[in-house]
Amino acid sequence: MNQITDSLRRPPVLITLAAAVIALILPLFLQTYWLHVIIIAYFYAILASSWALLAGYGGQFSFGHMAFMAIGAYTSGLLTLHLDIPIVGGIILGTLAAGVAGLAIGALTLRFKAAYLALFTIAFSEILRTLIRAEAQITRGDRGLRVEPLFNSLTRIPEYYVMLAVLFASLIFMYWLVQSRVGLFLRAVREDEEAAAARGVDVVRYKILTFVLTSMIAGLAGTIFAHYITIITPNIMVIPQMGLVIAMAIIGGVESLVAAAIGAVIVQIALELLREFGAWRLVIFGALLVLTLRFARDGLLIMIFQRLFRTGPRAELRQSAEEEGIRADQEGEDELTEMEAPLTSTGQES
């Protein structure tokens, strides 16, 4: 079964509210260390869910998401450091810079087939990383750029709520987007670009729009991350980091924003819990990813959600409808072969 139900695209209100309430009161029960882990998990949740919008809804497989995050982080870090711009200004300008970079990359690559985007964004990420390392007099290269802190708090609670607010805001915005006609067109483009264009969808325009918006969300996450961690290095955008974000989205469910975000949180927490296993935790994690791709291609969480919410008559009806469809095709083919159709031949492209 490879279909995502509407209930998953539109997460039930009660579950969403419950998750929101838990997230809001969580700092009351967590020590500073685990609060830090959760803040980082939320950071990855923003990246994984925005990448899910790009890849899962839009069918655009980009490896440049961490690069746009880094553009936001470095832009805000450098501007606040060298030009004494307030942090809020840095966050806004960092987000815009990521959007402008997304527009440039998108305009260059999104007219071509998806493979070009993947290859181009890998190259772009590596070029940007090399550039940041090379321009050490500005970026401080591998030594790391010291960035103004968001707050001078020892508890990390203010930072927690800021990252949570950005996560909620980005999820609400993306949810609104996928429910709008943009979301409708994105899914059509993902299914079949040529067919979507033939139906009147300006495919390139909507692909670029999505690319720019998801780049800005990644950039925004990067700015908050930079001012939270207070030191950024080019290593934040290495390919394995990008792989981690993709894996989080895939394990959660790449066609559901909420599932991708929850997947990111669970994976980040699991990586922390399994820290005592050393390198073996990555083996366990890799095995989980392989199993997900093999047995739950819509995502592990999606599979669990489906079991929880779709084991009723509606699911059976849907299943029977699919079987009916297959049966109707087969019956049609059978009858066609029995027909005496003079000079009837089908299916050859001319």
Partner 1 sequence: MELQIRDLTKRFGGIVALNKISFTLSGNELVGLIGPNGSGKTTLVNTIGGIHDPEGGQILLNGTNIAQMRPHQVAQRGIGRTFQVTRAFRRMTVLENLLVPGMALAPERGRRAWEVRAREVLDFLTMSHLRDDYARSLSGGQQKLLELGQVMMTDPDLILLDEPFAGVHPRLMETIFDYIKTLHQDGKAFIIVSHDMDSIFTLSERLVVLSYGDIIADGDPEVVKHDDVVIEAYLGEEEEEPVA
Residues that bind partner 1 (CB under 8 A): 2-4, 181, 184-185, 187-188, 191-192, 194-203, 318, 321-322, 324-329, 331-333, 335-336, 339, 341-350
Please check whether residue 86 is in contact with residue 284, taking contact to mean a CB–CB distance below 8 angstroms: no
Question: Taking CA 19 as the corner, what is the angle to CA 276 and CA 172, rounded to the nearest 5 degrees?
Answer: 115
Residue 128 or 254 with smaller CB distance to partner 1: 254
Residue 130 or 330 with smaller CB distance to partner 1: 330
Please check whether residue 257 is in contact with residue 178, taking contact to mean a CB–CB distance below 8 angstroms: yes
Closest separation between CB of residue 13 and partner 1, Å? 20
CA dihedral 232, 236, 237, 240 (to 10 degrees): 170
CB atoms within 10 A of CB 289: 18
Residue 2 or 137 with smaller CB distance to partner 1: 2
Closest separation between CB of residue 254 and partner 1, Å? 13
Residue 18 or 317 with smaller CB distance to partner 1: 317
Residue 4 corresponds to which tokens in the numbers above? 């995502």
Residue 51 or 185 with smaller CB distance to partner 1: 185
Gap between the Cα atoms of 79 and 91, Å rounded? 10
Closest separation between CB of residue 341 and partner 1, Å? 7
Residue 150 three-state SS = coil
Closest separation between CB of residue 324 and partner 1, Å? 8
DSSP letter (8 states) at residue 26: G
Residue 146 or 181 with smaller CB distance to partner 1: 181
Closest separation between CB of residue 1 and partner 1, Å? 11
Q: Which residue has the tokens 């982080």?
A: 73
DSSP letter (8 states) at residue 57: I
Residue 86 or 325 with smaller CB distance to partner 1: 325
Question: Taking CA 226 as the corner, what is the angle to CA 224 and CA 229, rounded to the nearest 5 degrees?
Answer: 105
Closest separation between CB of residue 109 and partner 1, Å? 17
Instruction: Give the residue among 164, 169, 260, 214 at the shortest CA–CA distance from 50.
Output: 214
Q: What is the 3-state secondary structure (H, E, C) of 298-318?
A: CCHHHHHHHHHHCCCHHHHHH
Closest separation between CB of residue 5 and partner 1, Å? 10
Gap between the Cα atoms of 253 and 301, Å rounded? 6
Residue 2 or 152 with smaller CB distance to partner 1: 2
Closest separation between CB of residue 83 and partner 1, Å? 41
Contacts of 13 (CB under 8 A, 6+ apart): none
Axis crossing angle, helix 157-179 with helix 257-273, rounded to the nearest 10 = 150
Residue 116 corresponds to which tokens in the numbers above? 């070009």
